[in-house]
Structure 1
Amino acid sequence: MQNTDFERYYQQVRGKQKRDTVLWSLTLLALYIASGNISEFSLQTLWSSLPHFFDYLAETVPVLHWNVLFADGHTEGSLAYWGYRLHIQLPLIWETLNLALAATILSVIAAVVLAFLAADNTQSPPIVRYAIRTAVAFLRTMPELAWAVMFVMAFGIGVTPGFLALALHTIGSLTKLFYEAIESASDKPGRGLSACGAGTLQRMRFALWPQVKPVFLSYSFMRLEVNFRQSTILGLVGAGGIGQELMTNIKLDRYDQVSMTMLLIIIVVSLLDALSGRLRHWVVEGKAV
């Protein structure tokens, strides 16, 4: 009898879950179709224009010939001829990496401090929490490109507008992620320290920080990769770095140099991804891999 009742209850729950799944799926599909109609999205246009995208990619593929592959830079079809602007692009890649790293380090330091002040469970004054949350919401609402355009108009073309644009947006994004991680931390260690007479700063240092440090590191390394990619885009509006080289090559139809620039960006992003994983493992677990 009990098995029969349980089976009936199980089938009722399963049926309700299936109905909810179908209902929500149909709702999302209807919203997706409606938004596509409002934005004038057309699958026919996408399908008919898609070959042009691959045509552009084909234009960027360099022309290399095996018989002269390792010839000097004056021989068309050689690797040296393809990379004849490497002496310009490599310093720009290094500049872009430094820009992303400097903006990320400054932003992480600022975001850690602001996050502890903005979290609900750190006993900071309510007016301080509200002010910080409002400020960082504004910072992350403005896209990096919008910040960069304003700073280029104020400071001129160079790395300063890119640095400020990345730093402000990163502070806004990381502060929100950080204070949400702090609020999700367990309060048991903090209560234990309070019972021993620990103050607010001691509870933050010995109860909250050990719990949130791995999360902070993960977000910080992820943001470093994002900032490097974003810094290449900011160069398109004159904010310094390899993005300016990419934009120049696109405007001048130097398709082979577009592919070389993109290849350098992909290599650096891949190296950053591998390096950040190793650093995170080393810092969190205390050993390298």
Structure 2
Amino acid sequence: MRRLLPALMMGAALFAAPPQEPSAFGAGNLDNPNPYGLSDDEKHILQNKQAIEALRKQLMKNQQIVQENRERIDGLQSILEGLGEKIRRYDETVKKVEDLNRSVDELALSQKQNFEQIRAVLQELGSMIDSINEKYVDKSRFEELEKAFLSFKNAYESFMKKGDLSGKSNAKIFAEAKSLFAKHRYDDAKLYFDHLIKNHYKPATSNYYLGEIAYREGRYKDAIAHYKKSASLYDKSAFMPTLLLHTGISLQRIGDKKQAKQFYESLIGLYPKGKAAKTAKKYLAKLK
């Protein structure tokens, strides 16, 4: 216990440096053109600028989604028009097919459309085509059309439900967030962990996972900020060895080798027998 106490004190000092000394993360310098590892108070200074940039990116993302949905609908309309050209040779049947095509177009272009009704219309259209003449209308072509439409339906429903976590308990959202992270669905997992932090549910663990997402995506400054927040909330969690290791690697990759070395040494001192410590020794050896 006497040997572990100095190491623990050294680890704690790295996360909570005196106000007049440089932070172990090198954060808090607002003159830096690329500040990182900011505290909550520090982040407020840059909030307006970041909020405008976030809104601009979100607008571009929404425009892209609308354009993709519009292209899918245009593709569906083109296929239906092609079918209409083949069936127009029949007088009475032609009018009915064109009416069905118009009905499908109107439903597909409406955001309030009834997807099940469209599927029923397509099934009726397929039966009609089969009854006309298989030489003029290929049944496999219709099956492709129905498959494409169902794919569009599922994508649209998934988009509408994305981010809607109402009605779910925090415990369930947390379990789903970890599952999404394990499946490398980082964008979805980030939404879940952000939601949990806003609801003050397991903020230390949620910040750790957000740090892991940023680390795996190569956003090392963001990763350091989340690791710092997590450690400040609770520094005795099971993931602390990984947090210290990835903090050191992140610091090394942004060029702060001095601070990276301190984290490697702290990790080795606090958790000498763990797997993370073995990895830290390899990175530390390359810095010497």
TM-score range (shorter-chain normalised) is: under 0.3
Greater per-residue helix proportion: 1
The structure having more radius of gyration, on CA atoms, is 2
Which has the higher relative contact order, 1 or 2, with Cα contacts under 8 A spaced 6 or more apart?
Answer: 1
Superposition TM-score, scaled by structure 1 size = 0.25
Superposition TM-score, scaled by structure 2 size = 0.25
